Amino acid sequence: MTMNSEQKLGFIGLGVMGEPMCRNLARKSGRPILASDLDPAPLARLQAEGVQSATLEEILRDCDTIFLSLPSGEIVERLSRQPQGLLALARSGQTIIDLSTSPVSTTRELARDFAALGATFMDAPVARTRAAAEAGTLAVMVGGTPEHFARVRPLIATFASDIALCGGVRCGQVLKILNNMMLFEHVV
């Protein structure tokens, strides 16, 4: 799949971290963005950046690369497995990138199920604060193949300054867990 400036990007989840990440993606990627969230307020704010509100079906139909920024791995899994969810609508050649902090087992199972459809599922949990998301200086730990990483790294670089390929799918989640453990230990 060759990326060009005309191909639309999808972004699902515009909460505390998702909204500023989507804003930076819209400003810096040069690509049209279709976005979805249960709350219409961030969608209204992002309209000024050219982000278009879309349904899940429209995003999966029109976008080859889709970012997920959801509150938990349980919600990622629910959105993936529900009737008319991500797995029901995904097509061969798509790349779904989970920016959420999700369980390693969930990530592994979703990667397997998307691969059976010919789609790629990558984990890329983010670290740092909302201020870092707004500044485009997040840290992102990516799990995936070097080839897929090379393709999506320029997109992730629109909202992150520290981006590392940590190994195969699920390794981003493992490093995020270790990062959180060290952070919490340091705080305590």
Best CA proximity match to 52, nearest among 34, 39, 66? 34
The catalytically annotated residue of 167, 176, 180, 186 is 176
Q: Which two tokens stand for residue 79?
A: 């959105």
Contacts of 43 (CB under 8 A, 6+ apart): 14, 35, 36, 37, 51, 53
Whether 28 sits among the annotated catalytic residues: the reply is: no
CB 96 within 8 A of CB 87: no
Q: CA-CA distance, 114 to 58, in Å (whole number)?
A: 18
Which residues form the catalytic set? Answer: 176
